[in-house]
């Protein structure tokens, strides 16, 4: 029992506190609590250390639903109060397995973050890799203040998501990626 008091319950309680502070679905909290408690043999559940720690967790659940922040979960307060009362009386195993808990709507998860935006240069890097072409900066070489790059057999610079390809000495024309790849291979 002292192993549980020193190792298991501090972590169990910390996780419960974190979960309760994030507007949880209280049905899930109760099921989680019951799942862990159900793993304990009956003789261990009746030891004062284990019983006291599980009762402390019930107190944390009661406190969480009694705060004003739980208002967004209709029925949460009643569900948790009923569960903790039945749990303290030792009736929860019978009551909560026979009768389903009232449904508390879960807070939907936040939408996934948008995929990272690729720069135009990153797009050219990918096209170069897919077509086995080199795409490297030309150190110390510039045109109108823009760095020059070697893309296959072409020299180019980038400006506002447009590739300007050298067609004659000091003459650069805008070009599509498809045309650039075609010319870079020759």
The residues near 127 (Cβ < 8 Å, ≥ 6 apart) are 133, 177, 181
Q: What would the mean pLDDT of 137-150 be, rounded to a whole number?
A: 94
What is the per-residue pLDDT for 135?
95
User: Percent of the chain beyond pLDDT 90?
Assistant: 36
Give per-residue pLDDT as tens, 3-25.
778 888 899 899 888 888 877 88
DSSP 3-state helix, strand, coil percentages of the chain (rounded to 5)? 55, 15, 30
Give per-residue pLDDT as tens, 166-177.
999 999 999 999
Identify the residue with better confidence: 113 or 126: 126
Nearest Cα to 136, choosing from 178, 179, 184, 186? 184
Q: What would the mean pLDDT of 133-145 be, rounded to a whole number?
A: 94
Q: What would the mean pLDDT of 86-102 be, rounded to a whole number?
A: 53
| Whether the predicted pLDDT of 93 surpasses 60 | no
> DSSP label at 68?
G
What is the per-residue pLDDT for 123?
93
What is the per-residue pLDDT for 109?
72
What is the per-residue pLDDT for 80?
75
Identify the residue with better confidence: 78 or 6: 6
CA dist list (Å): 93 to 37, 56, 97, 99, 178: 10, 18, 6, 11, 68
Query: Is the Cα torsion angle 176, 182, 185, 186 positive or negative in sign?
Result: negative
Identify the residue with better confidence: 116 or 179: 179
Mean pLDDT of the chain: 82
């Amino acid at each position: 029992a002292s192993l549980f008091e020193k190792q298991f319950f501090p972590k169990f309680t910390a996780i419960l506190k974190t979960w309760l502070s994030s507007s949880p679905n209280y049905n899930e909290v109760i099921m989680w609590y019951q799942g862990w408690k159900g793993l304990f043999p009956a003789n261990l559940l009746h030891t004062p250390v284990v019983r006291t720690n599980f009762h402390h967790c019930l107190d944390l659940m009661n406190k969480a639903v009694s705060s004003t922040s739980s208002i967004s979960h209709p029925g949460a307060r009643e569900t948790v109060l009923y569960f903790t009362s039945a749990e303290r009386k030792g009736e929860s195993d019978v009551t909560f397995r026979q009768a389903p808990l009232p449904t508390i709507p879960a807070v939907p998860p936040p939408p996934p973050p948008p995929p990272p935006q690729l720069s135009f240069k990153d797009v050219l890097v990918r096209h170069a890799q897919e077509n086995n072409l080199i795409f490297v900066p030309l150190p110390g070489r510039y045109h109108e203040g823009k760095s020059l790059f070697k893309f296959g057999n072409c020299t180019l610079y980038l400006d506002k998501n447009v590739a300007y390809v050298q067609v004659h000495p000091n003459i650069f024309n805008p070009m599509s990626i498809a045309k650039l790849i075609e010319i870079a291979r020759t």
